[in-house]
Amino acid sequence: MGPLIFLLYINYLPKVIDSKGTTVLFADATSALIMYPNTTKLQNDINIVFKQINIWFEANLLSLNFNKSQFIQFTNKSTPTTDICIKYYDKQISNTITTKFLGLTINDALFWKTHIKYIIPKLSSASNTMRSVKPYVSQTTLRIIYYTYFHSIMNYVLLFWGTFFR
């Protein structure tokens, strides 16, 4: 589907969820954020939102990729996890403790440790590249390589998440 048609389709999706949750749309990634302290109401609202989303997809001749869809329940030390089951017909969304969300690898406790483990190999590779080309290029070129590889990896998520939750 062309990008313009996709945007026309997908920009109406947040209206489908109503007041039960918040949607985050970015390119072809769509996330629904639902929050309630009462786990029974949370379970009910998650299933209602998921049903509404699927009905909208079907009405617009789209389909949800159940293999890529995930559910993550965020917790803290004082809030234990509960068993929540999200189903639509005979299909179930898998529950996970770690997922990628708009470039950030997050876990159910919202710690940075998971993301740090993900970017360390990338930063290591960028460092090795800089070290290997350093004797052969100028300081200006080395600075360009640094900003292209190393700096962009370090700052992408920090800049995005610093402005996202204001």
pLDDT tens by residue, 120-162: 999 999 899 889 999 999 999 999 989 988 888 887 766 555 5
* Phi/psi at 36 (5° precision): -150, 140
- What pLDDT sits at residue 139? 93
- Sketch the domain layout of the chain as residue ranges: 1-96, 111-166
Question: If we measure between CA atoms, which residue out of 32, 22, 85 comes closest to residue 57?
Answer: 32
Question: If we measure between CA atoms, which residue out of 78, 74, 72, 31 comes closest to residue 53?
Answer: 31
DSSP, collapsed to helix, strand or coil, labels residue 70 as strand
> pTM for the whole thing?
0.67
What does the pLDDT look like over 59-118, one tens digit per residue? 888 787 888 888 888 877 777 667 787 877 788 888 888 888 777 888 888 787 888 888
Please state whether beta strands 22-26 and 29-33 pair in parallel, antiparallel, or not at all (unpaired): antiparallel
Question: If we measure between CA atoms, which residue out of 50, 51, 99, 41 comes closest to residue 72?
Answer: 99
What does the pLDDT look like over 2-17, one tens digit per residue? 777 767 767 777 777 7
Sequence-ordered list of residues with C-beta below 8 angstroms from that of 37, at least 6 positions apart, any chain: none
DSSP, collapsed to helix, strand or coil, labels residue 142 as helix
Mean pLDDT, range 47-67, rounded to an integer:
83
* Structure-model confidence comparison of residues 53 and 140, the more confident one: 140
Task: Give the integer Cα–Cα distance in Å for 65 and 28.
Answer: 12
- What pLDDT sits at residue 144? 92
Task: Give the integer Cα–Cα distance in Å for 94 and 53.
Answer: 16
CB atoms within 10 A of CB 120: 11
Task: Give the integer Cα–Cα distance in Å for 62 and 50.
Answer: 14
What does the pLDDT look like over 145-155, one tens digit per residue? 899 888 888 87
- What pLDDT sits at residue 162? 55
DSSP, collapsed to helix, strand or coil, labels residue 80 as coil
What does the pLDDT look like over 10-41, one tens digit per residue? 777 777 776 777 777 777 677 888 877 777 78
Task: Give the integer Cα–Cα distance in Å for 86 and 46.
Answer: 7
- What pLDDT sits at residue 165? 45
